[in-house]
Protein backbone atom coordinates (compact mmCIF):
# COMPACT_ATOMS: atom_id res chain seq x y z
CA UNK A 1 0.00 0.00 0.00
CA UNK A 2 1.24 3.49 -0.85
CA UNK A 3 2.32 5.51 2.14
CA UNK A 4 0.77 8.93 1.66
CA UNK A 5 3.08 11.77 2.60
CA UNK A 6 2.24 15.33 3.59
CA UNK A 7 4.10 17.99 1.65
CA UNK A 8 4.09 21.72 2.38
CA UNK A 9 4.87 24.13 -0.47
CA UNK A 10 5.52 27.73 0.48
CA UNK A 11 4.78 29.95 -2.51
CA UNK A 12 2.65 27.10 -3.83
CA UNK A 13 0.26 29.40 -5.71
CA UNK A 14 3.16 30.75 -7.72
CA UNK A 15 4.59 29.73 -11.06
CA UNK A 16 6.94 26.89 -10.08
CA UNK A 17 5.20 25.94 -6.84
CA UNK A 18 1.83 25.34 -8.48
CA UNK A 19 3.31 23.04 -11.13
CA UNK A 20 5.05 21.07 -8.40
CA UNK A 21 1.81 20.87 -6.44
CA UNK A 22 0.01 19.36 -9.43
CA UNK A 23 2.72 16.74 -9.95
CA UNK A 24 2.84 15.77 -6.27
CA UNK A 25 -0.95 15.34 -6.15
CA UNK A 26 -0.80 13.22 -9.32
CA UNK A 27 1.69 11.00 -7.50
CA UNK A 28 -0.45 10.50 -4.41
CA UNK A 29 0.97 13.11 -2.04
CA UNK A 30 -1.12 15.30 0.23
CA UNK A 31 -0.24 18.89 -0.61
CA UNK A 32 -0.53 21.91 1.67
CA UNK A 33 0.12 25.36 0.24
CA UNK A 34 1.17 28.54 2.04
CA UNK A 35 1.01 31.68 -0.09
CA UNK A 36 0.02 35.28 0.65
CA UNK A 37 -0.85 35.80 -3.05
CA UNK A 38 1.40 38.85 -3.31
CA UNK A 39 2.77 37.38 -6.54
CA UNK A 40 1.05 33.99 -6.64
CA UNK A 41 -2.39 33.46 -8.15
CA UNK A 42 -5.24 31.53 -6.58
CA UNK A 43 -6.23 30.27 -10.04
CA UNK A 44 -2.99 28.27 -10.11
CA UNK A 45 -4.00 26.17 -7.11
CA UNK A 46 -4.96 22.54 -7.49
CA UNK A 47 -8.42 21.92 -6.02
CA UNK A 48 -7.03 18.97 -4.04
CA UNK A 49 -4.42 21.09 -2.26
CA UNK A 50 -5.20 22.57 1.15
CA UNK A 51 -4.52 26.30 0.93
CA UNK A 52 -3.47 28.73 3.65
CA UNK A 53 -3.44 32.43 2.75
CA UNK A 54 -0.55 33.36 4.99
CA UNK A 55 2.77 35.20 5.01
CA UNK A 56 5.72 32.96 5.84
CA UNK A 57 6.79 35.42 8.54
CA UNK A 58 3.54 34.87 10.43
CA UNK A 59 3.63 33.13 13.83
CA UNK A 60 0.51 31.28 12.64
CA UNK A 61 2.73 29.29 10.29
CA UNK A 62 3.41 26.92 13.19
CA UNK A 63 -0.22 25.80 13.24
CA UNK A 64 0.15 24.27 9.77
CA UNK A 65 3.01 22.08 10.98
CA UNK A 66 1.21 21.26 14.21
CA UNK A 67 -2.07 20.27 12.56
CA UNK A 68 -0.84 18.38 9.49
CA UNK A 69 2.31 16.40 10.40
CA UNK A 70 4.32 17.74 7.49
CA UNK A 71 6.85 15.24 6.10
CA UNK A 72 8.54 17.39 3.45
CA UNK A 73 8.83 21.12 2.85
CA UNK A 74 9.44 22.83 -0.48
CA UNK A 75 10.32 26.42 0.33
CA UNK A 76 9.62 28.48 -2.80
CA UNK A 77 8.10 31.65 -1.27
CA UNK A 78 10.43 34.57 -1.94
CA UNK A 79 10.85 38.15 -3.00
CA UNK A 80 12.28 37.50 -6.47
CA UNK A 81 12.86 40.93 -7.98
CA UNK A 82 16.43 42.19 -8.35
CA UNK A 83 15.28 45.77 -8.91
CA UNK A 84 12.92 45.65 -5.90
CA UNK A 85 15.73 44.36 -3.69
CA UNK A 86 17.94 47.29 -4.73
CA UNK A 87 15.30 49.85 -3.77
CA UNK A 88 13.89 47.95 -0.77
CA UNK A 89 16.68 45.91 0.86
CA UNK A 90 14.87 45.68 4.21
CA UNK A 91 11.74 44.15 2.68
CA UNK A 92 13.87 41.83 0.56
CA UNK A 93 15.76 40.57 3.62
CA UNK A 94 12.55 40.27 5.65
CA UNK A 95 11.01 37.94 3.08
CA UNK A 96 14.02 35.98 1.89
CA UNK A 97 16.03 35.71 5.10
CA UNK A 98 13.71 36.16 8.08
CA UNK A 99 10.81 34.39 6.35
CA UNK A 100 13.07 31.48 5.49
CA UNK A 101 14.28 31.26 9.08
CA UNK A 102 10.67 31.05 10.22
CA UNK A 103 9.99 28.12 7.86
CA UNK A 104 13.25 26.44 8.86
CA UNK A 105 12.48 26.87 12.56
CA UNK A 106 9.17 25.04 12.36
CA UNK A 107 10.56 22.45 9.95
CA UNK A 108 13.13 21.54 12.56
CA UNK A 109 10.74 21.73 15.53
CA UNK A 110 8.26 19.36 13.89
CA UNK A 111 10.91 16.95 12.55
CA UNK A 112 10.40 17.44 8.82
CA UNK A 113 12.21 14.67 6.92
CA UNK A 114 13.68 16.95 4.27
CA UNK A 115 13.69 20.69 3.58
CA UNK A 116 14.05 21.52 -0.13
CA UNK A 117 14.49 25.12 -1.16
CA UNK A 118 14.93 27.09 -4.37
CA UNK A 119 17.88 29.37 -4.81
CA UNK A 120 19.13 31.08 -7.93
CA UNK A 121 21.99 31.42 -10.42
CA UNK A 122 22.23 35.02 -9.16
CA UNK A 123 24.39 33.82 -6.26
CA UNK A 124 27.28 33.19 -8.66
CA UNK A 125 27.60 36.75 -9.96
CA UNK A 126 29.65 37.21 -13.14
CA UNK A 127 30.84 33.77 -14.29
CA UNK A 128 34.58 33.15 -14.23
CA UNK A 129 34.02 30.13 -16.49
CA UNK A 130 31.17 28.42 -18.32
CA UNK A 131 29.19 26.37 -17.63
CA UNK A 132 29.07 27.40 -13.97
CA UNK A 133 29.25 24.47 -11.56
CA UNK A 134 28.37 24.38 -7.86
CA UNK A 135 32.01 24.98 -6.85
CA UNK A 136 32.07 28.37 -8.56
CA UNK A 137 32.63 31.32 -6.25
CA UNK A 138 29.54 33.16 -5.00
CA UNK A 139 29.96 36.88 -5.61
CA UNK A 140 26.49 38.44 -5.56
CA UNK A 141 25.79 41.57 -7.61
CA UNK A 142 22.43 42.37 -5.98
CA UNK A 143 20.73 42.34 -2.60
CA UNK A 144 18.41 39.69 -4.04
CA UNK A 145 21.32 37.35 -4.79
CA UNK A 146 22.80 38.08 -1.37
CA UNK A 147 19.54 37.37 0.44
CA UNK A 148 19.16 34.04 -1.37
CA UNK A 149 22.77 33.10 -0.60
CA UNK A 150 22.20 34.00 3.04
CA UNK A 151 19.09 31.81 3.01
CA UNK A 152 21.27 28.97 1.71
CA UNK A 153 23.73 29.40 4.58
CA UNK A 154 20.96 29.34 7.20
CA UNK A 155 19.59 26.18 5.59
CA UNK A 156 23.00 24.50 5.77
CA UNK A 157 23.49 25.41 9.44
CA UNK A 158 19.99 24.72 10.78
CA UNK A 159 20.53 21.08 11.61
CA UNK A 160 17.91 19.50 9.34
CA UNK A 161 18.28 17.41 6.18
CA UNK A 162 18.08 19.66 3.14
CA UNK A 163 18.56 20.06 -0.60
CA UNK A 164 19.24 23.46 -2.13
CA UNK A 165 18.42 23.83 -5.82
CA UNK A 166 19.93 26.65 -7.83
CA UNK A 167 17.58 27.08 -10.78
CA UNK A 168 18.56 28.43 -14.19
CA UNK A 169 16.04 30.58 -16.12
CA UNK A 170 12.72 28.78 -15.63
CA UNK A 171 9.89 29.33 -18.12
CA UNK A 172 6.52 27.83 -18.97
CA UNK A 173 2.76 28.18 -18.44
CA UNK A 174 1.51 30.38 -15.56
CA UNK A 175 4.63 32.55 -15.52
CA UNK A 176 3.67 36.19 -15.05
CA UNK A 177 4.78 38.77 -17.60
CA UNK A 178 4.77 41.46 -14.91
CA UNK A 179 7.18 42.45 -12.17
CA UNK A 180 10.56 40.70 -12.36
CA UNK A 181 9.31 38.45 -15.14
CA UNK A 182 11.31 36.08 -17.26
CA UNK A 183 12.05 37.11 -20.83
CA UNK A 184 10.00 34.22 -22.25
CA UNK A 185 6.88 35.40 -20.41
CA UNK A 186 7.47 39.00 -21.48
CA UNK A 187 7.99 38.07 -25.13
CA UNK A 188 4.92 35.81 -25.11
CA UNK A 189 2.73 38.53 -23.61
CA UNK A 190 3.90 41.15 -26.11
CA UNK A 191 3.63 38.83 -29.10
CA UNK A 192 0.09 37.73 -28.24
CA UNK A 193 -0.93 41.40 -28.14
CA UNK A 194 1.19 42.31 -31.20
CA UNK A 195 3.02 44.94 -29.16
CA UNK A 196 6.54 46.24 -29.66
CA UNK A 197 9.34 44.24 -28.06
CA UNK A 198 12.44 45.85 -26.62
CA UNK A 199 15.67 43.88 -26.18
CA UNK A 200 18.22 45.27 -23.76
CA UNK A 201 21.73 45.20 -25.19
CA UNK A 202 22.60 43.54 -28.50
CA UNK A 203 20.57 40.39 -27.88
CA UNK A 204 23.63 38.18 -28.12
CA UNK A 205 23.63 37.56 -24.37
CA UNK A 206 22.94 33.90 -23.64
CA UNK A 207 20.87 32.14 -21.02
CA UNK A 208 20.09 28.61 -19.93
CA UNK A 209 16.31 28.15 -20.16
CA UNK A 210 14.72 25.25 -18.27
CA UNK A 211 11.08 24.20 -18.67
CA UNK A 212 8.97 24.33 -15.52
CA UNK A 213 7.70 20.74 -15.80
CA UNK A 214 11.31 19.53 -15.75
CA UNK A 215 11.86 21.51 -12.55
CA UNK A 216 8.83 19.82 -10.98
CA UNK A 217 10.14 16.37 -11.97
CA UNK A 218 13.52 17.08 -10.35
CA UNK A 219 11.73 18.21 -7.19
CA UNK A 220 9.67 15.01 -7.11
CA UNK A 221 12.92 13.03 -7.34
CA UNK A 222 14.24 15.04 -4.41
CA UNK A 223 11.71 13.57 -1.97
CA UNK A 224 11.79 10.09 -3.47
CA UNK A 225 15.58 10.00 -3.13
CA UNK A 226 17.65 9.44 0.00
CA UNK A 227 19.93 12.28 -1.11
CA UNK A 228 20.41 15.07 1.41
CA UNK A 229 22.58 18.04 2.34
CA UNK A 230 23.64 19.05 -1.16
CA UNK A 231 23.56 22.18 -3.32
CA UNK A 232 22.58 21.32 -6.89
CA UNK A 233 22.21 23.30 -10.12
CA UNK A 234 19.04 22.55 -12.08
CA UNK A 235 19.52 23.50 -15.71
CA UNK A 236 19.73 22.26 -19.28
CA UNK A 237 23.44 23.15 -19.57
CA UNK A 238 22.63 24.63 -22.98
CA UNK A 239 22.92 28.25 -24.06
CA UNK A 240 20.58 30.18 -26.31
CA UNK A 241 20.87 33.85 -27.22
CA UNK A 242 18.02 36.28 -26.64
CA UNK A 243 18.00 37.00 -30.37
CA UNK A 244 17.55 33.31 -31.17
CA UNK A 245 14.85 33.01 -28.51
CA UNK A 246 13.03 35.94 -30.15
CA UNK A 247 13.24 34.26 -33.56
CA UNK A 248 11.84 30.97 -32.28
CA UNK A 249 8.99 32.64 -30.42
CA UNK A 250 8.15 35.01 -33.27
CA UNK A 251 7.74 32.02 -35.58
CA UNK A 252 5.47 30.19 -33.14
CA UNK A 253 3.34 33.26 -32.39
CA UNK A 254 3.32 34.46 -36.04
CA UNK A 255 4.76 37.74 -34.80
CA UNK A 256 5.99 39.99 -37.63
CA UNK A 257 7.43 43.03 -35.85
CA UNK A 258 11.18 43.46 -35.47
CA UNK A 259 12.52 44.11 -31.98
CA UNK A 260 13.93 47.44 -30.85
CA UNK A 261 17.29 47.43 -29.12
CA UNK A 262 18.21 49.63 -26.21
CA UNK A 263 21.13 50.07 -23.85
CA UNK A 264 22.08 47.02 -21.80
CA UNK A 265 20.83 47.19 -18.22
CA UNK A 266 23.38 47.93 -15.53
CA UNK A 267 24.55 44.75 -13.85
CA UNK A 268 23.23 42.39 -16.54
CA UNK A 269 25.42 39.34 -17.02
CA UNK A 270 26.41 38.65 -20.62
CA UNK A 271 26.42 34.84 -20.47
CA UNK A 272 24.89 32.52 -17.87
CA UNK A 273 24.86 28.74 -18.26
CA UNK A 274 24.74 26.30 -15.34
CA UNK A 275 26.49 22.94 -15.29
CA UNK A 276 23.99 20.15 -14.52
CA UNK A 277 26.31 17.14 -14.12
CA UNK A 278 25.82 16.98 -10.36
CA UNK A 279 22.05 16.80 -10.74
CA UNK A 280 22.40 13.86 -13.11
CA UNK A 281 24.99 12.07 -10.99
CA UNK A 282 23.19 12.41 -7.66
CA UNK A 283 19.52 12.33 -8.66
CA UNK A 284 19.72 10.49 -11.96
CA UNK A 285 17.72 13.16 -13.74
CA UNK A 286 18.38 16.32 -15.72
CA UNK A 287 15.97 18.67 -17.49
CA UNK A 288 15.58 17.31 -21.00
CA UNK A 289 12.93 19.54 -22.61
CA UNK A 290 14.49 21.53 -25.45
CA UNK A 291 13.63 25.20 -25.80
CA UNK A 292 11.86 24.40 -29.06
CA UNK A 293 9.69 21.74 -27.40
CA UNK A 294 9.05 23.89 -24.33
CA UNK A 295 7.93 26.83 -26.45
CA UNK A 296 5.69 24.53 -28.49
CA UNK A 297 3.98 23.40 -25.27
CA UNK A 298 3.74 26.99 -24.01
CA UNK A 299 2.11 28.27 -27.18
CA UNK A 300 -0.20 25.24 -27.33
pLDDT in tens, the chain (300 residues): 346 699 999 999 999 999 999 999 999 999 999 999 999 999 999 999 999 999 999 999 999 999 999 999 999 999 998 889 999 999 999 999 999 999 999 999 999 999 999 999 999 999 999 999 999 999 999 999 999 999 999 999 999 999 999 999 999 999 988 766 689 999 999 999 999 999 999 999 999 999 999 999 999 999 999 999 999 999 999 999 999 999 999 999 999 999 999 998 777 889 999 999 999 999 999 999 999 999 999 987
Counting the structural domains of the chain, the total is 1
Instruction: Give the span between the Cα atoms of 77 and 94, in whole angstroms.
Output: 12
Residue 101 covered by a domain = yes
Residue 62 covered by a domain = yes
What CATH number has the domain bearing residue 10?
Answer: 3.40.50.720
List the Cα angle 179/185/187 in 5-degree steps.
110
Residue 91 covered by a domain = yes
Residue 183 covered by a domain = no
Beta-carbon neighbour count of residue 6 at 10 Å?
A: 17
pLDDT of residue 1: 35
Catalytic residue among 29, 124, 144, 211: 144
Residue 115 covered by a domain = yes
pLDDT of residue 177: 86
Residue 256 covered by a domain = no
Range of the domain at 34: 6-171+210-235
Residue 274 covered by a domain = no
Catalytic residue at 144? yes
Residue 277 covered by a domain = no
- Sequential DSSP letters for 132-189: B-TTS----SSHHHHHHHHHHHHHHHSSS-EEEEEE-EEE-TT--SSSS--HHHHHHH
Determine the 3-state secondary structure of 88 from DSSP.
Answer: coil
pLDDT of residue 178: 78
Strand (E) positions, the chain? 6-10, 30-35, 50-53, 72-75, 114-120, 162-167, 169-171, 198-200, 206-207, 209-211, 230-234, 240-241, 260-262, 271-272
Contact between 119 and 149 under an 8 Å Cβ cutoff? The reply is yes
Amino acid sequence: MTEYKNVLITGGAGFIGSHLGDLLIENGYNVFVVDNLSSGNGHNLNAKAKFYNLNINSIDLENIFKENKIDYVFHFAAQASVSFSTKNPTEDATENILGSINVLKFSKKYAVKKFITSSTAAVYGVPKYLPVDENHTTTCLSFYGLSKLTMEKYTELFGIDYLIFRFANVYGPRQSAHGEAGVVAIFADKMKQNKEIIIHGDGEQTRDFVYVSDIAEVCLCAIQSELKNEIINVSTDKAISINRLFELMAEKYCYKKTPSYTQARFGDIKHSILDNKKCNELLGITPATSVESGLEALVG
